[in-house]
Amino acid sequence: MERQIGRLLLVNDSVATTRASAGTLSLDRRGDAERDLEVAGVRDSVLLEFSLTASGIDTALSGDERSARLPVTLMPTGRCDGDALSQSQQTFLLSVFLRLEGDIEQALNVSPDTGVRGRAMSLVRRGCGV
């Protein structure tokens, strides 16, 4: 699937608010695949909620499209216990579930860029009063 879909990047497009950081999920198709690409869902990490901002997204890339940018939001999950805050080893490991037309759903991992990571951790610390 990586060969046909290409890379996924989470990039910051807007300033973080006091509760959330908005950004864009960038999908870039590689190869000759001409099938529709659907975003079936996303998965959070222990400390960060990861969500698609626009609801009802069915097809992220139509067969003839090469790239798409989808609005996303990162915000704290509210886990403030010591284990979550001090031992989270995959804080920025977020998953996007994709399905090429006619194939089974597959997960691809994405990570925010360094700037978004810093803002997201500031949101987590602020929400936990740390």
- Residue 57: inside a domain, yes or no? yes
Reduced to 3 states (helix: H, G, I; strand: E, B; else coil), residue 4 is helix
Retrieve residue 17's tokens.
């608010």
Q: Which domain holds residue 16?
A: 2-84+91-112
Backbone angles phi, psi at 101, to 5 degrees: -50, 125
Cα(51)–Cα(74) distance, rounded to whole angstroms?
A: 7
Given a cut of 80, whether residue 11 has pLDDT beyond it is: no
- Residue 15: inside a domain, yes or no? yes
User: How far, in Å, are 16, 80, 82, 94, 100 from residue 109 at the CA level?
Assistant: 22, 24, 26, 6, 16
In tens, the pLDDT along 51-73 reads 887 665 556 778 888 888 888 88
- Residue 122: inside a domain, yes or no? no
Number of domains in the chain: 1
Least Cα distance to 46 among 109, 10, 94 occurs for 94
- Residue 80: inside a domain, yes or no? yes
Least Cα distance to 117 among 11, 2, 1 occurs for 11
**pTM of the prediction?**
0.77
In tens, the pLDDT along 89-121 reads 888 888 889 888 888 898 988 888 888 888 888
- Residue 120: inside a domain, yes or no? no
Least Cα distance to 19 among 55, 72, 73 occurs for 73
Output the average pLDDT for the chain: 79
- Residue 21: inside a domain, yes or no? yes
- Residue 60: inside a domain, yes or no? yes
Beta strands 94-100; 37-43: pairing state: antiparallel
What confidence category does residue 3 fall into, taking pLDDT thresholds of 50, 70 and 90? very low
- Residue 123: inside a domain, yes or no? no
- Tell me, what CATH number does 34's domain have? 2.60.40
What confidence category does residue 12 fall into, taking pLDDT thresholds of 50, 70 and 90? low
DSSP secondary structure code for residue 54 in this structure: S
